[in-house]
Amino acid sequence: MQIKFSPMRRDLRLALVRSGDTLTINGEAFDFSPLPEGATLPREAMDSEWFAGPVEREGGVLHLSLILPHGPNPPLETLMAEPVIVTDDGPVTLPPYDQEIPDAD
């Protein structure tokens, strides 16, 4: 599963868990196992605000784009988030939501 990110300022954080062809987003499961090779599922087909584009299966790999929420002070690694390849089941590690700004005392 390859996930690309579209960073966006949001208060709600994102939690992802992969189990085979199922991606759980903030507790809501999306099962893409019926999606055949070479097929595309348009963003509008998923009833979720988290998808930023279609879901495709190419070479047996699911490709999808998600909104990546961030706080008011996101680090550069979040604003310029690299795509991730998820091969293992379990929680998906995401870029940091925000960074702490040191007090200027």
- Tens of pLDDT, residues 25-80: 999 999 999 999 999 999 999 999 999 999 999 999 999 999 999 999 999 999 99
Question: pTM for the full model?
Answer: 0.89
For residue 64, give the amino acid letter: L
Q: Return the H-helix or E-strand segment holding 43.
A: none
Tally: H helices and E strands in the chain: 1, 9
Interval 80-98: pLDDT, tens: 999 999 999 999 999 999 9
